[in-house]
Amino acid sequence: MSSRAEAVERAVELRAELEHHAHRYYVLDDPEIDDAAYDRLYDELQALEEEHPDLRDPASPTARVGAPPAERFEKVNHLQPMGSLDKVTDADSLGKWADDVRKRLGSDEPVAYVTEPKIDGSAVSLVYERGTLARGATRGDGLRGEDITANLCTIKGIPLRTVGPPPPPLLEVRGEVYFPADAFARLNERLVVEGRKPAPNPRNAAAGSLRQLDSRITAERDLAIWFYGVGFAQGLAVATQWALLQWLRARGFRTNLHAERHESIDSVARTCEAWEASRAELDYDIDGIVIKIDSIDQQWRLGALHERPRWARAFKWSPMRAETLLKSIHVRVGRTGALNPWAELEPVQVGGVTVSNATLHNEEDINRKDIREGDRVIVQRAGDVIPQVVGPVLPHRSGTTPFRMPKRCLLCDATVVKLEGEVMHRCPNQACSSRGLETLIHWAGQPVMDIEGVGEQLIRRLWDLGLLRTAADLYRLTADQLLELDGFQERLAANVIASIERSKERPLSRVLFGLNIAGVGAVGAQALAAHFGSTAELQSASVEEIQSVAGIGPERAEAIAEWCSQPENRELLDELGHLGLRLGAEREDSPGEGPLSGRTYVFTGMLEAWTREEAQAALEALGARVTGSVSGKTSALVAGENAGSKLAKAREIGVEVLDEAAFAALVARERP
Ligand code: IVH
């Protein structure tokens, strides 16, 4: 039991501490204490407020759990209208806008720009009275929105009270509420489990979550926010948008770290272009880049037309998701015998590319998402990966049935099996043609032997003609044989033979990856090549020795030894050796010994002075390993421009982050 005076004092202290730590965590992305320590402070405050109910305060950190349901949302006027942005879609129209701005301002005046990711969420406006959140509203028609204060209070990135220097007594801030990708995936999983329709995209889900009459539902949804500007702010004296972002951040408003200031429109154009490709690395959706004239004075002079400012533009890309018809579901037997379902779609534009088929993962996943032939579905592209079907948009047409995997292999008619604990159905027949054909397609592909001019189509044709059965056959092909095929003339045939020949130079690790040994992917193949240095050494190794290779467990070691003992595989390796492939005792593909041996690095974003390959080679030359994803075993993350989710992950789990300068210094320091 505490006296009231003590309780008041302690509650004030605890709230200040919790606000400080929330700011470190949500805004600065740099927590000082761990979750458990935060929870202890929180629990103490909650207990205190329960003991002394008169201490409760709507701006207390404990008030974020949601309030009892409201009957409807009140309409509220914004203090200043929320406008919208005119868009540009390419460097040309961007340049025209910049010309118009310069004409209006007077051509000698320097103009600087700020670019910010255009968050694809739901716009909100928050009013702070003497630094405390008083009201929050949706955009509505731009003049009047709906009062969703109770819902906004549940979003942890929204300060209930500002921090740092006091803001103007009446302050209206603007931001975009969004769903982080992982929170969106969790929401949809839950909706499906509850037998409800999944949300079609994070933007709809964010808007829907903000308009829940029961704010306890909003509280469960892990929404986030980026702030990007102010509406009404009497007496606020900042001269530039760039300074405004720092001003907001210093007061506890999360501003996006990917904002940039530019002195030329060419630099703006480069940023817009670079982000189209790298946006997939972010853990939230952006549908473009917002470009703002930096100087607030210039903004005033340029003014707006029908609430659309002349001082800003949205550079918009085509969307990365689209809706289309799923015509049918097909199954392809892969090189490991796995049955891979894929969707044949009515062709649709997604992010500037026509998509006519997409992967579906496995039977379980298809049925969990309740995807059926004949459905209208959402298709999504992310970066370079193959398009995926996210889920159906509409209820099923009557008569459609859930998807079932075929019972027999489509190629060899063997009975399909599904092993305990596995999600994939497989053809168990080692002699099934899928293995041979798909192995060859894999062998010629970019991550393996990278044989230019030898794509899936050509391999299928050669397979059908009986000219190819194993990788060795590929190296015995002649230009004359190719000339027999439709569409081949001398030049093309000679080029294809030359590129097959060049692929003999690929290192041992690629060969091992290409052989399609069960469980040996690119990383495992590298580890095996580094350890054994030749196929001969690997072939004579015991299961125990194979198992001693980093990352190879007992089951995989067993499978590798088994593969090596099969006569047809021994023969294949002999043939490849005679044909001149590099199976020999060389270790240059493996990280050698060096000052960074035992250390593992990951790259993200773009470096200015290095290509990714050069940077990786520099680290490997020093003995380090380079891998693709951040984990507890990562020694450091090298983060260039436009770093995305890997950076967030590294920060989250406390992995050291090197910027380009620190990376260059490391390489220079350690170089022998
Ligand atoms: S500035 C006059 N900055 O895009 C409007 N908007 O069409 C000035 N948005 O309704 C808006 N990210 O919902 C601005 N960094 C950003 C933004 C952003 C997303 C949204 C916002 C607005 C719409 C503009």
DSSP track, 363-381: HHHHHHTT--TT-EEEEE-
- Nearest ligand 1 atom to the CA of 123 is 13
Is residue 225 classed exposed, middle or buried when 0-12, 13-18 and 19+ CB atoms within 10 A define those classes? buried
Determine the distance separating the centroid of ligand 1 and the alpha carbon of 115, expressed in angstroms.
12
Query: 344 C-alpha to center of ligand 1: Å?
Result: 36
Q: Which ligand 1 atom is the nearest neighbour of the CA of 139?
A: 10
Residue 646 C-alpha to ligand 1 middle, in angstroms? 26
List phi, psi (to 5°) of 88. -125, 155
CA of 176 from ligand 1 middle (Å) equals: 7
* CB of 229 sitting under 6 A from ligand 1: yes
Tell me the CA distances in angstroms from 48 to 11, 40, 44, one per residue in order.
7, 12, 6
Of 227, 229, 193, 189, nearest to 205 by C-alpha is 189
Angle at 315 between CA 97 and CA 297, to 5 degrees: 50
284-313 CB burial, b ≥16 within 10 A, e <16: bbbbbbbbbbbbbebbeebeeeeeebbbbb
Assessment of whether the complete model's pTM goes beyond 0.85: no
Q: Is 116 in the pocket of ligand 1 (CB under 6 A)?
A: yes
Distance CA 214, CA 119 (A): 25
Contact 376, 389 (CB under 8 A): no
Nearest-CA residue for atom 4 of ligand 1: 118
Q: Which pLDDT score is estimated for 671?
A: 72
Calpha distance 352→634 (Å, rounded): 35
Q: DSSP E strands: which ranges in 320-467?
A: 321-333, 339-350, 353-359, 376-380, 388-392
**By C-alpha distance, which of 106, 121, 110, 100 is closest to 290?**
121
Task: Output the six-digit token pair for 489.
Answer: 């003339």
Q: Which helix (H) or strand (E) segment is 613 a member of?
A: helix 612-621
- Measured at the CA of 666, the angle between CA 661 and CA 671, to 5 degrees, comes to 130
Ligand 1 atom nearest 307 alpha carbon: 2
- Give, for ligand 1, the residue of 78, 82, 85, 226 to mutate: max count of ligand atoms closer than 8 Å to Cβ: 85
**By CB neighbour count within 10 A (0-12 exposed, 13-18 middle, 19+ buried), where does 408 fall?**
exposed
Rounded Cα gap, residues 5 and 12, in angstroms: 11
Residue nearest to atom 18 of ligand 1 (CA): 118
Amino acid at the residue 356:
S
Q: What pLDDT score was predicted for residue 294? A: 98
Atom 17 of ligand 1 has which residue's CA nearest to it? 118
Asked if 582 contacts 505 with a C-beta cutoff of 8 angstroms, the reply is yes
From the CB of 287, is ligand 1 less than 6 Å away?
Answer: no
Q: Indicate if ligand 1 lies below 6 Å from the C-beta of 207.
A: no
How many whole angstroms from 174 Cα to the centroid of ligand 1? Answer: 9
- Give, rounded to a whole angstrom, the gap between the first and last alpha carbons of the chain: 66
Phi-psi region of 257 (alpha: psi -120 to 50; beta: other; left: phi over 0): alpha
Atom of ligand 1 nearest to the CA of 85: 7
- Output the residue whose Cα is nearest ligand 1's atom 16: 118
Q: What does the DSSP assignment read for 23-90?
A: IIIIISS--SS-HHHHHHHHHHHHHHHHHSGGG--TTSGGGGG--SPPSSPPEEE-SS------EE-S
Ligand 1 pocket, residue 572 CB under 6 Å: no
Low-confidence ranges of the chain (pLDDT < 70): 1-2, 352, 382-385, 585-592, 613, 672
Q: Tell me the C-alpha to C-alpha distance, in Å, between residue 229 and each of 142, 241, 244, 245, 250.
A: 15, 8, 7, 7, 13
- Ligand 1 centroid–CA 629 distance in Å is 32
CA 125 to chain centre: 28
Q: Which of 78, 80, 82, 84 to mutate to test the pocket of ligand 1 (most atoms within 8 A of CB)?
A: 84
Q: What is the tens place of the pLDDT at every residue in 103-159?
A: 999 878 999 999 999 999 999 999 999 999 999 999 999 999 999 999 999 999 999
Parallel/antiparallel/unpaired status of strands 625-627 and 113-119: unpaired
Counting atoms of ligand 1 from 1, which one is nearest the CA of 308? Answer: 2
Q: What is the pLDDT of residue 645?
A: 77
Please report the pLDDT score of residue 672 as a whole number.
64
Residue 341 tokens, joined? 């379902």
Q: Is 477 helix (H, G, I), strand (E, B) or coil?
A: coil
Report the length, in residues, of the chain.
672
Q: Residue 326: its pLDDT value, please?
A: 94
CA separation for the pair 222, 186 (Å, rounded): 10
Task: State whether residue 277 is helix, strand or coil.
Answer: helix
- Beta pairing class for 388-392 and 122-129: unpaired
- CB 185 within 8 Å of CB 84: no
For residue 389, report the distance from its CA to the centre of ligand 1, in Å.
29
- Alpha carbon of 255 to ligand 1 centroid (Å): 13
User: 121 in ligand 1 pocket by Cβ < 6 Å?
Assistant: no
Would you please indicate which residues are annotated as catalytic (active-site) residues? Answer: 118
SS3 174: strand
Q: Residue 587 has what pLDDT?
A: 44
Ligand 1 contacts CB of residue 314 (under 6 A):
yes
